[in-house]
Amino acid sequence: MSNNSKFVITIGRERGSGGRMVGKELARRFHIHYYDREILACASKELAVDEAYLASIDERSMNFMQNVFPVAYAGNNLAFNYVTTEAELIGVQSRLICEFASSRSCVIVGRCADYLLRDNPNCIRIFLYSDLEDRVRHISEIYEVSEAEAKKKIKKMDKEREKYYRSVTGLDWGDSRTYDLCLNTSMLGIEKSCDLIEQAVRIFLKDRGINPDALSEPRQE
């Protein structure tokens, strides 16, 4: 395998565990592309649907949509358009993830990328979690809400991600057997967690004859 072979790092994460920060830092260190909300922006253009709306249903199961737009399931055409868009979003995001992974080295956060790329031999799948008190503090600071409200946000999003992951993959979200490396970011902090993951990725790539430092493609900002 040549030194410029493409590789992918996928990151699954609990809400507030630092997945976005870790993902961006790894992309910076390896000089590769980073995809998170960027996938939504691409999907928004393809579906001709407002990105803010897509963000509101991103990584949420069809059960969530039934609760938000129950009339859609009673035959209301306007609401049915929203539900169809949710189903289309999953399909478009899945296709985009596979296209990105096949054409460039990158970090992809969430959206069942670990499952979608399970047959890619150059994909290393990471799952991040952390202690609840650290997650609550992190979300409270970011959104400037009380710790009680932050805790509600965490529980709600984690529940939706769990349902979404199961609806798409049929598997349990966060199950260590579906990932190559699971890490508690509370143990080391974000920077040292990145150090550990970087080392693991380099070992993983070396075993496959890939030198990430030989990549010449420009990194997407």
pLDDT at 50: 84
Report, in this order, helix, strand and coil percent for the chain, each rounded to 5: 60, 10, 30
- Reported as a pLDDT band with limits 50, 70 and 90, residue 215 is low
pTM of the complete model: 0.85
pLDDT digits (tens, 9 = 90+) for 111-162: 999 999 999 999 999 999 999 999 999 999 999 999 999 999 999 999 999 9
| CATH of region 8-213 | 3.40.50.300
The model's pLDDT over 25-77, given as tens digits with 9 standing for 90+, comes to 999 999 999 999 999 899 889 888 888 888 887 777 555 444 443 433 344 44
| pLDDT at 13 (0 to 100) | 96
β 123-129/33-35 pair status: unpaired
pLDDT of residue 174: 94
